[in-house]
Structure 1
Amino acid sequence: MIISNFHNDVVAPYESALDLFFDADSGAVYEPGREDGTPAFLFTEVTGYALLDFLTLHALTGNNRYIDKANRAAQWIYEHAQDPCGGVLTRFFFARDTEPALSNKSFAGRRIYAFDTAICLRGMINLYEFTSDPHHLESARLMGEFICDRLMNAQGEVSAIFDAANDAPVPANQEIWSQRFSSFHTKCAEALIDLFAATKDDKYRQAAVAICEAAMRFQTQNGAIETSLGKTELHPHCYATEGFLHVGKVLGRQDFVNVAKRATEWALSQCGADGEIAQSIDLNSGESLARFRTDSLAQVLALGSDLQHLGELSSEHDANLDKLAGKVLSMRTGPGGYFQYGFYEREFQGRFESQTKSYWTQMFCLRGLTSYYTSHLIGMTSVTLLAGGIGSRLWPISCEERPKPVSMSLLGDRSLLQETIRRYTNHQFIPARNIHILCSENAVADATSQASQEGVPTTNCVIEHEPRGTVPAVSIALDGLPPVEEGVDRLVIISMGDNVIDPHWSFQNAVVGGLIAAYENDCIVSVGKPAEKTGDVDTRFGHHLYRDSVDGYRVFQVERFEEKPDADRREEFSQWTGQIAWECGTVIFKESVFRKLVPANPSSGNLAEDLLAKAVAWDEQSGATVKLATALLDSRTRFEDFGVPGRNMQSFFADDPNYDFGHGNVCIGRPDLVQLLGSSGCLVIADELPVRVYGVRDLVIIDNAVTNTTVVLPADDVHRLPALYRLFSGSNAYEAFVTGGEAARLAEPTTFVERSPLAHAYSEQGLVFAYQLDHRVTIRRTPQGLIVSNDDYPRMSANDFSALATKHAEDPHIVDQMINVGAVARTLVGGELPLSEAATDILDKLCLYHVYGGV
């Protein structure tokens, strides 16, 4: 690889030229005019491209000014460039916009290109995915509807140009590639598939597939894609390839990926020793018809790098990718300058070399060089997920027979291990073949099965026979990795396999920044979530104290690391002049850096306490200290490490319609098994038995099949669970429920009620454990389900409960009404005299019938 410092070679020059290419008033891309006499204009298509560029720069740097720029550019598109028909107008020529000679491209002429609309659509919908701004979604939908309804025919062909003034497509010109349906219209499919991903409207998926299938006919036997009759122009050839590759990746259509692979391999085969590829080639003779364009070289570089990242391109093309990257970098005009366009296809004013300054070239070079660099780093990266340990803080969900990372009881449809794998494999970020898992002997069967479902080879699971701490675990993981080529210093990512970080793109952005920093600075990088200095100290996490950025990325130099600080450190942290981030269970480093800091075969050690805690300011480094950085997640990212269940989990899942049951109630694991009435502030974790909760407040209720155990305790007392786990693990009477599995299933039913004088527990199956309950509660566990009810509320059967739950969905106040009726009835009927159980039951039934009409 020829890039030594990505920021200096790529990011800084791009940033320095931004003011040259963007209009200060509108935020749109500005072209100052061209050598052929084209006057200055605002460029809609390239403004659409810029939306994606700004998202890329934000992903790299975390700097919100790029989001501000993207929002401003998007606003210009939908307020000024988007025609009422939904498509986008091409160029705004300022005072000259109404000139007849410019009408084919001007706003006033209202000629709309399908391609331009697709580029703006893709930028807009990706910006919406980041911002959730409804204006972006509405604009993108209008563009998508315009392409599908006004430009496409039944065969998947797209009209290249639409005359909005006359409300009709412009007849195709078969002599000019941009004015007829051709392979480059797969860029429409590329945009539509992103719109489908955001909206789940299958209309867009079907349209994207139809366009790609119609465009496949343009690929020739040798892989080249015909763009004009009898020839291939490299620029639209790459457009077509980009569309096929993106749609193929998103939908898993290997036939589309194969088209892209063959097209890219053909383009790379044309690369000369100087890194040049002809811009236009005769398909019959193979003769070069025009010299290179820098934007096209950058497109081939990006395509080759992306396919290499996917494992679809053999290493024989590495040399040509290096040559292309070198050629693209050589086209920059001095330090901090813009990239030159290259050469025209026809002689212009006695020469072929272009002197036009254009953002067009800048953006393609940014994309090509970014893909090249990050693909190289990811290609030399191995990920190891630590999935050992019992996870005793999470008992009764986690146990010896099924440790927390492989338990399905929290997320329901997947384990935490699978969630962690998907955080890497989502959007093909890290190939599954490069992910390895270190787990305990008890977990290996589940871990291997779950990992294989996610595409991770079963041979990538390694057993940690004796838990000795995370430092030895990392050392074992490194020793188990496959060998690398001589001279390659492998990049390693270590992640705990038991947390959730949402959304995945935020995590992936942080990891890319961490890989760059670790590769270029020989430091250890820990992924962190920004935290408020003046808030309460969260004692669950390690704290990074950081200040200065590393080369302007979203990575910062850590001056001090505090592992799970005490709550009384709040005042000290609030006076820290830098910033603070929580440590999120992922570290990144070069293998050589770790081996230099840690002796071979360490017998013990904790990664946080014995390695990260040695961090000091970068300008105070010595042989015994650690050069530590933190790669920051986006501030809106949700992070939960699923330690002791309680308020933290309620906050994490609050407002998620899949888990939030209203009134502060959150149900996870299998929320479809849970019914709540007259309850608030509760966390319910169910995995197999139906659970009915009635008239209680602020409780944590856990029912788990593997440990055959129910636990009910106040949400504010969940921190006592680890101590209670240790109490049970030393008792013969309860050991089976701590171990879990077959022993728990066969154990005699039992109950344990502690510090709960008003509570009653009954078990026909497994253990029911109640702790610190200060009001009248009955807990009843049978093979048919679990009921947790307030004894002061009218009693009801399962049928009564279901009927009332249905009524409750219609009227949330129904339960309060029923309770009030019951209270009044008891006072009137019973007075000071206690009612018999039969009389109480009859009275409760009458109250229920009064409220919902009976069953």
Structure 2
Amino acid sequence: MSIGSQEGVDVRGDAMSPEAATGAITTWFRNGRTQHASGAFCGWREGPEGPLSPPYPEITGYALTFLTGVGAGDGAAAERAVDWLVARERAGDHASRPERADGIVYAFDVAMITHGLLRVGALTGRVAVTEAGLRQADRLVAAVDHEGRLACLLGDPVTHLAPAWSTRGQVHLLKCAQALLSAHEAGHPRARQVAERLVRAAVDAPTDGEPGPPVPTCPGSDTVSLHALCYGAEGLWVWGTATGDEAALRVSRRFTEWVWRQQLPDGAFPGFVRADGRPGGGRAQNDVLAQAVRLASLHRFTGVSVNAATDHLLGRLWRHGEEAAAIYWPDTDSAHLNSWVSMFAAQALWLRGRSERRLDWWELV
């Protein structure tokens, strides 16, 4: 894949094609608009010249995966991001949000860091980067050995966090299979086994045939995070694509179909719904929109609803000159230019540009 090679594209017209939008988003990201002076990538910037959010290790891992996919994995931006992550790992600093004093470590974040480091290591041959990624993978494998499963939080028990998909859920952790597969390719002796264990728990789970959500995203809650459910579908697609596991691909498609049943009349997607399909509170989220469009392309969905979602995503990009970025909440006046939404959107729109395009399992951000 080379989604950043849209040279000479005019993005100034009123109507922007998926290809033009992909190139403009990639330009914005490669220009480091959300990269901190430390080398870390941040979650977002408030407006084109506004303040950055704090450095974000998970998003820095995502950035490395994205940059390798657009042919910039050995460039200056990636090198600075790698150096920041490797320095933290060597110092034993695994906190998922460095600006907070609680030191909490999310397994999902470790996985995204792992995958990003291992992709750069594979691309550049930098042994120290690969070794840092493998040490991060060791933490995921050790957690499964200790708990019998992969929990959301690594390390000492944390009791003060409210139950949520990110603190108690399991479905989003399926995406960790991607990092474990990369670790397997880099020579980790047990990473693939642990990845398969995660996937089998989802694929072999009994279904009741009811029209409700395929799995809960937070135990004990009837509110479903579509963002988390998309992560689950993505992880199953990664595993199924990498290994030829048709059962995993079927379950990924089932998750994706349920997400698409929650589409709003204007083409957008809510962040949360109730298990019975009623609104779950909160606003529409463009990360879910971009993930849904991307999954639709990965599973070869077609039709008016996919076109409406694509148009909605295109129509709500922030644009300036040769750059564009995705906004987290599409129905607000603030220009919350978001790193992860922009990366998701770039890949989604690249796939929508031509029907024959594919992503490799390791390229998925």
Tell me the TM-score normalized by structure 1: 0.37
Q: Secondary structure at the match of 1:226?
A: coil
Match of 1:331 in 2: 316
Q: Deviations over 1:587-645 (max 9, x none)?
A: xxxxxxxxxxxxxxxxxxxxxxxxxxxxxxxxxxxxxxxxxxxxxxxxxxxxxxxxxxx
1:48 to 53, 61, 67: 61
Q: Distance in 2 between matches of 1:220 and 1:270?
A: 20
Match of 2:250 in 1: 258
1:319 to 293, 301, 304: 304
Q: Secondary structure at the match of 2:268?
A: coil
Q: Distance in 1 between matches of 2:208 and 2:259?
A: 13
TM-fit CA distance, 1:320: 2.1
1:111 to 96, 104, 124: 104
Q: Distance in 1 between matches of 2:57 and 2:86?
A: 10
* Kept after mapping to 2: 8 A contact 1:182/1:215: no
Match of 1:275 in 2: 267
1:70 aligns with 2:78: yes
RMSD: 3.2
TM-fit CA distance, 1:213: 2.4
2:288 to 249, 272, 296: 296
Match of 2:346 in 1: 366
Q: Deviations over 1:631-665 (max 9, x none)?
A: xxxxxxxxxxxxxxxxxxxxxxxxxxxxxxxxxxx
Change over 3 Å in CA distance of 1:121–1:27 after alignment to 2: same
1:212 aligns with 2:199: yes
TM-fit CA distance, 1:132: 1.5
Change over 3 Å in CA distance of 1:242–1:172 after alignment to 2: farther
Q: Distance in 1 between matches of 2:207 and 2:55?
A: 34
Taking the TM superposition and a 5 Å limit, the aligned residue runs for 1:25-424 are 25-31=37-43, 40-58=53-71, 67-80=75-88, 84=92, 88-93=94-99, 102-104=100-102, 110-153=103-146, 155=148, 157-163=149-155, 168-170=156-158, 175-199=163-187, 201-216=188-203, 217=205, 221=209, 222=211, 224-228=214-218, 229-308=221-300, 313=301, 317-335=302-320, 336-342=323-329, 355-374=335-354, 376-378=355-357
Change over 3 Å in CA distance of 1:120–1:41 after alignment to 2: same
Q: Secondary structure at the match of 1:92?
A: coil
Q: Distance in 2 between matches of 1:172 and 1:148?
A: 25
* Kept after mapping to 2: 8 A contact 1:219/1:226: no
Structure 2 unaligned runs (5+)? 1-14
TM-fit CA distance, 1:147: 0.7
Match of 2:22 in 1: 10
Change over 3 Å in CA distance of 1:307–1:173 after alignment to 2: same
Q: Which amino acid aligns with 1:73?
A: A
Change over 3 Å in CA distance of 1:218–1:276 after alignment to 2: farther
Q: Deviations over 1:715-762 (max 9, x none)?
A: xxxxxxxxxxxxxxxxxxxxxxxxxxxxxxxxxxxxxxxxxxxxxxxx
Q: Secondary structure at the match of 1:211?
A: helix
Q: Distance in 2 between matches of 1:362 and 1:135?
A: 29
* Kept after mapping to 2: 8 A contact 1:28/1:76: yes
Taking the TM superposition and a 5 Å limit, the aligned residue runs for 1:820-839 are none
Q: Secondary structure at the match of 2:281?
A: strand
Q: Which amino acid aligns with 2:285?
A: R
TM-fit CA distance, 1:34: 7.2
Q: Higher strand share goes to which structure?
A: 1
Q: Distance in 2 between matches of 1:172 and 1:210?
A: 29
Q: Which amino acid aligns with 1:185?
A: L
TM-fit CA distance, 1:363: 1.5
Q: Deviations over 1:794-829 (max 9, x none)?
A: xxxxxxxxxxxxxxxxxxxxxxxxxxxxxxxxxxxx
Taking the TM superposition and a 5 Å limit, the aligned residue runs for 1:397-546 are none
TM-fit CA distance, 1:183: 0.7
Q: Which amino acid aligns with 1:279?
A: G
Change over 3 Å in CA distance of 1:357–1:9 after alignment to 2: closer
Q: Distance in 2 between matches of 1:428 and 1:342?
A: 28
Q: Distance in 2 between matches of 1:366 and 1:330?
A: 14
Q: Higher helix share goes to which structure?
A: 2
Change over 3 Å in CA distance of 1:66–1:265 after alignment to 2: same
* Kept after mapping to 1: 8 A contact 2:151/2:170: no
Q: Distance in 2 between matches of 1:162 and 1:292?
A: 30
Q: Which amino acid aligns with 2:83?
A: Q
TM-fit CA distance, 1:360: 2.5
* Kept after mapping to 2: 8 A contact 1:188/1:208: yes
* Kept after mapping to 1: 8 A contact 2:318/2:337: no
Structure 1 unaligned runs (5+)? 59-63, 94-101, 105-109, 345-351, 380-425, 430-504, 506-855
Aligned residue pairs, count: 338
